[in-house]
Amino acid sequence: MKKTIGMLLAAILMMGAVAAAEPVTYEATGSGYGGAMKISVTIDEGKITDVVLGENNETNVVIDRAFPVIRERILEAQTPVVDSVSAATFSSYGVKKAVADAMAQAGMEAPEITFATAGEEKPATERAAESCDIVVVGGGPSGLAAAISAKQVKADANVILVEKLDILSGNGKFDMNFYDLINSEAQKAAGNERYTVNAVENFIEDMADCGETPERIRAWAETENVLDAWLRDMGVELNNNYSSTNHMAELEQYAGEVIQAGMENTVHALGVDVRTGTRGVDLVMADGVCTGVVVTNNDNETYTINAKYVIVATGGFCSNKELLAEYAPGYEGLNTSNQMGTTGDFVKVFEKYGFKMENMDKIRVFPNIIVPRRDLTGGADVNILANKDGVLLPNKAELERATMIKEQPSGAAYYITDKAGYDSFYRIRKHVDHGYYAQSDTIEGLAEALGIDPAGLAASVEQYNADAEAGAENAAIGAVPKRKLEGPFYGVRVEPANHMTKGGVATNEHAQVLTEAGEVVPGLYASGEVTWQSGGYSESVSFGKIAGEHAASNL
């Protein structure tokens, strides 16, 4: 009997041991850029074996790229005390905080996580130099286009692409609109004959006074003419031509997220050596010829990549207030809609070697970004701008707009539209659906939700509507309202922001960098916002494509 009881107790203890050895998944919540992030963390005998992202409101084009990186770092280090993913610091913090909470639930020693929590700093080291055919510095739209086109021209070329951030695609992944595109399938389907019949010449006519050389304008036009087909070969379809040369992926899908996903997939499929967390810090110059680039990486290693051709596509400097103050005084006081990588890393490098810099004081200011999220807003067919007292504000631009808003009570201004405005533009519908806007059936209800004086805003809108009905100028906005505003109403706090630095290093129609004397710098190309260019997103892709093709064809 005693033997039987002993055996039974042993069996029970063994079952308990087996049960204890089974992995347990803990549910935790962290706070990211978009609010609560649900994270599942599996722990097996004191070891973190899995981290799974659940329901969250993070920006999809960021979290989809960043989460695999932060997950890998945590699993490798077996602690959330790791470096955040650059360009996704809020999301990284949310994940790390949740993992620490799960560790505490499991009875493990859980580290305290703050926004500044990072991994152990690595000692600075020098690494042996490497060599390749083409090195591309910058993994945004232009850099990706350059790397792809180079491999398409010469499949066996050794192409290295370095990107200082931990994720690719720069500002492009956030863009709703891919503009300046011609001869697209969407334009053909829409009967947009100006940009499908004699499209190149019509484009050149449109851009005649844009400030670029005739040779660059023609090269740009000819590349835009084939860009849609080139993107479609990567599985990228821009099926919504919503006016002129403007394109979205679909009626309710941003162009940028589709284009950049397609280019990232292609750059990997073609065998480009992609190195994220690797910053270009200097060029290697020998007797006026560019022969490589010096880089430093997340492991604090500095090394030289020698190359037959270097393509610099590091973007603009909207996120660098010192450079803004130097080249465009006054604009340093504005926020920016850009991701954190736009710090103008190669501006001083170009100047050091005597390359020609153009239009450094030209800045494009976007009139409304959401405070504090920084998403671009606007686009409603009819909208008003009001302060906290409910007083309407005129539609000023650039620095005048910024100054006007700063002078308002609490330095606040609110973008307000109605149901017709909501229906008129996808970006507003998307942001309302994500909960960025306050909304109400009445203007007084909206005012209360936004913290605006209800009586003041109601009186302003009543006068606005009366002026719209009478076809008279509204004194507050200094214009005749297009139509009345009718509920339901939508509103959000906004401010103007630096959206694009237009100036940069001078390049020719092949994207080759020029000296102050206008001569080509052998071995060196530049494309995208790091250069002086009159356009934006699609011009960056176009000249990236041109740079990669030209460099590869000369190998």
Residues 6+ apart with CB under 8 A from 206: none
Domain boundaries, given as residue ranges, for the chain: 20-105, 129-362+502-553, 369-498
Q: Is the pLDDT of residue 1 over 80?
A: no
Do domains 129-362+502-553 and 369-498 share one topology? The answer is no
* Sign of the alpha-carbon dihedral angle for 199, 204, 209, 211: positive
Length of the chain: 555
Residue 14 has a pLDDT of: 44
Cis peptide before 488, with omega less than 30 degrees from 0?
yes
Residue 21 has a pLDDT of: 62
In the predicted model, what is the mean pLDDT of residues 532-547? 98
* Sign of the alpha-carbon dihedral angle for 201, 204, 208, 213: negative
List pLDDT tens digits, range 286-322: 999 999 999 999 999 999 999 999 999 999 999 999 9
DSSP, res 121 = P
pLDDT band at 378 (very low <50, low <70, confident <90, very high): confident
CATH classification of 129-362+502-553 is 3.90.550.10, yes or no? no
Helices and strands per DSSP (H, E), number in the chain: 16, 22
In the predicted model, what is the mean pLDDT of residues 240-253? 96
């998307």: which residue's tokens? Answer: 430
Burial class (CB in 10 A: 0-12, 13-18, 19+), 229: exposed
* Interatomic CA distance for residues 401 and 184, integer angstroms: 36
* Interatomic CA distance for residues 489 and 471, integer angstroms: 22
User: For the whole model, what pTM was predicted?
Assistant: 0.94
**Chain center to CA of 349:** 24
Residues 6+ apart with CB under 8 A from 161: 135, 136, 139, 143, 144, 147, 267, 272, 273, 274, 275
List pLDDT tens digits, range 76-126: 999 999 999 999 999 999 999 999 999 999 999 999 999 999 999 999 999
Burial class (CB in 10 A: 0-12, 13-18, 19+), 529: buried
Q: How far is CA 249 from CA 14, 261, 438, in A?
A: 59, 12, 27
């005048």: which residue's tokens? Answer: 400
**CA angle, residues 525, 529, 533, in degrees to nearest 5:** 85
CB 306 within 8 A of CB 129: yes
Higher pLDDT, 157 or 16: 157
Q: Is the pLDDT of residue 2 over 70?
A: no
| Pairing assessment for the beta strands 273-276 and 278-286 based on DSSP bridges | unpaired
* Interatomic CA distance for residues 220 and 203, integer angstroms: 9
List pLDDT tens digits, range 14-51: 444 444 569 999 999 999 999 999 999 999 999 999 99
The whole-chain average pLDDT of the chain stands at: 95
Q: Is the pLDDT of residue 409 over 60?
A: yes
List pLDDT tens digits, range 164-195: 999 999 999 999 999 999 999 999 999 999 99
CATH fold, domain 20-105, is: Sufe protein. Chain: A (3.90.1010)
Higher pLDDT, 429 or 8: 429
User: What proportion of the chain, given as a percentage, has pLDDT over 70?
Assistant: 96
* Interatomic CA distance for residues 263 and 282, integer angstroms: 26
């403007």: which residue's tokens? Answer: 246
List pLDDT tens digits, range 131-148: 999 999 999 999 999 999
User: What proportion of the chain, given as a percentage, has pLDDT over 90?
Assistant: 95
In the predicted model, what is the mean pLDDT of residues 363-385? 95
Residue 94's SS3 state is helix
Helix (H) or strand (E) holding 361: none
Beta bridge partners of 415: 385, 492
Which one of 3.90.700.10, 3.40.50.261, 3.40.190.10, 3.30.70.3040 gives the CATH number of domain 369-498? 3.90.700.10
Residue 18 has a pLDDT of: 44
